[in-house]
């Protein structure tokens, strides 16, 4: 069972690197006001990787963008995405997208080529769902080292207790970080020994 690099993999792509449209980001920037026209841009580093135009109506937003076809020609695409609103516990309302394909209430839509859809309709996994036990242990140790204030989480040996953190919490997090770091190393060494003996 298992082996080097094994983990949960159903052959699905991951959400990393996909253009994503978040309802919360649209609301924060004031783009969910009826009658508003807006432009949303994505970038990787300093390079623009995509953009989309939208117009907000009372119960939907209309997304408009250009897509290159297989023949190399540009095609204008425009389609509606319905909105849903739920009441919050302490007043106010929360906005949601309705997936154009399945109708499920979601907070994020991903670019699936010619259309935006939810993660399930596009058969996308989160990156962490494809990790093996070793990678999961190293990711957890890295996350704890960052929380403990290590500037360079992989090479820094010295930790300084963050201001305001209780000593008991600090010591518990240090123990957890040591456990997950050692666990990841153990799994990697076991796999390496299996490879050298085979």
pLDDT tens-digit profile of 112-151? Answer: 777 888 888 887 776 666 677 787 888 788 888 888 877 6
- Joined together, the tokens standing for residue 16 give 């990393």
Asked whether the beta carbons of 116 and 42 are under 8 A apart, the reply is no
Asked whether the beta carbons of 65 and 53 are under 8 A apart, the reply is yes
Residue whose entry in the numeric block shows the structure tokens 């309709």 = 121
Instruction: Give 182-191's long-range contacts (Cβ < 8 A, gap of 24+).
Output: 183/137, 184/134, 184/135, 184/137, 184/138, 184/141, 187/132, 187/133, 187/134, 187/137, 188/134, 191/3, 191/4, 191/134
Q: Tell me, what's the pLDDT at 75?
A: 81
Dist CA 87 CA 100 (whole Å): 22
In the predicted structure, residue 5 carries a pLDDT above the cut 50? no
Over residues 77-91, the mean pLDDT reads 92
**Residue 2: pLDDT band with limits 50, 70, 90:** very low
Q: What DSSP character marks residue 162?
A: P
Reported pTM: 0.65
Q: Tell me, what's the pLDDT at 154?
A: 57
All structural domains of the chain with their residue ranges = 13-125, 131-197
Q: Tell me, what's the pLDDT at 187?
A: 83
Residue 106: partners with Cβ closer than 8 Å, 6 or more residues away: 96, 97, 98, 99, 118, 119
């Amino acid at each position: 069972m298992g082996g080097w690099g094994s983990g949960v993999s159903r052959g699905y792509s991951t959400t990393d690197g996909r253009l994503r449209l978040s309802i919360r980001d649209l609301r924060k920037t004031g783009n969910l006001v009826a009658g508003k026209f807006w432009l949303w841009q994505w970038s990787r580093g300093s390079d623009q990787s995509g953009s989309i135009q939208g117009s907000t109506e009372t119960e939907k937003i209309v997304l408009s963008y250009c897509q290159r076809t297989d023949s190399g020609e540009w095609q204008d695409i425009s389609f509606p995405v319905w909105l849903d609103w739920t009441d919050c516990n302490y007043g106010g309302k929360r906005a949601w997208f309705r997936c154009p394909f399945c109708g499920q209430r979601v907070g994020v839509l991903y670019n699936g080529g010619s259309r935006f859809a939810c993660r399930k309709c596009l058969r996308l996994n989160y990156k962490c769902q494809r990790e093996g036990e070793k990678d999961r242990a190293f990711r957890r140790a890295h996350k704890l080292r960052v929380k403990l204030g290590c500037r360079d989480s992989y090479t820094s040996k010295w930790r300084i207790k963050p201001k305001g953190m209780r000593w008991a919490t600090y010591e518990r997090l240090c123990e957890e970080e040591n456990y997950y770091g050692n666990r990841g190393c153990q799994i990697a060494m076991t796999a390496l020994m299996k490879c050298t003996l085979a």
